[in-house]
Structure 1
Amino acid sequence: MPGPVPESWPGLIGMELNTAVEIISRERPDVRIVRVLPPGEAPSPPPRDQVRVIIYNNVGPVPNTWIVVAPAPYIG
């Protein structure tokens, strides 16, 4: 991948979850697993030899939507 490779996405906080996943997938095609967690939950250990991103989310302002919340999505 040319240029800097992002390892976190603070600009995605407040964005709709599916849109955030699309952006991360475009910027980091090597990420094969996205772990979506509710606020405050600790992620399990990462799978061996795989790159994953952790995204925390909560219910959005519109019914049946989810938004990205802090901490910012990150590789981990």
Structure 2
Amino acid sequence: MPGPVPESWPGLIGVEVNAAVQIISRERPDIRIARVLPPGEAPSPPPQDQVCVIIYNDVSQGPDRYVVVPPAPYIG
């Protein structure tokens, strides 16, 4: 991949979760797993030899508001 390889995506806060996953997949095709978690939940370790991204989504904002919330998506 030419140029710097992103490890976090602060610009995706407020973006719809599926759109965020597509953007991250384009920028980091090596990522095979996206974990969408509620705010404050600690992610479990990824499977060995796999890179995953952690995305937080606060469903308490409403059933139709599947958007990325802080912290920004990150490799974890």
| TM-score normalised by the chain length of structure 1 | 0.91
How far apart are residue 42 of structure 1 and its match?
Answer: 0.5
Task: Show the counterpart of 1:67.
Answer: 67
Q: Give distance in 1, aligned partners of 2:72 and 2:12.
A: 7
RMSD: 1.5
Task: Show the counterpart of 1:29.
Answer: 29
Q: Give distance in 2, aligned partners of 1:60 and 1:25.
A: 26
- Which residue type is aligned with residue 67 of structure 1? V
How far apart are residue 61 of structure 1 and its match?
Answer: 6.0
Cα deviation code 1:36-61 (max 9, x no counterpart): 10111000011100000000012386
Cα distance change, pair 45–61 in 1 and its aligned pair in 2 (3 A):
closer
Number of residue pairs matched by the alignment: 76
Structure 1's unaligned 5+ residue stretches are none
Identical residues among aligned pairs (%):
78
Structure 2's unaligned 5+ residue stretches are none
* Cα pair 2:53 2:74 within 8 Å, conserved: yes
